[in-house]
Chains A and B, each alone.
Chain A
Amino acid sequence: MSSPVPPTGDSRNGAYVFRLYLASGAPNSVRALANLYAICRKHFPESHRIEVIDVLKEPLRALSEAILVTPTLVKVSPAPEQQIIGNLSEENEVLRALGLPERQTE
Chain B
Amino acid sequence: MIKKAILLAVATVSIHMLTACNGIFDDIYDQPKPVVPAKGQLVIDATSWTDWYYVDLPRLQRLAEEGDEDALLKAQSEFEKHPIPFTLSEGKGDGRSGQYLYWFDVWGEGIQNNEFRQFTETDAQQDPEEWSFAVHRNNVRTNGGAVYETQYTSFDQLPESSTEFANKEFTADEWSENEVWSSKEQMLLSLVPSQGININKVLSSWLEFKFNVPPDYKPNKHVFILRLADGTYAALQLADFISPEGKKCFLTINYKYPY
Do A and B belong to a common assembly?
no
Seen from chain A, the residues whose Cβ lies within 8 Å of a Cβ on chain B are none
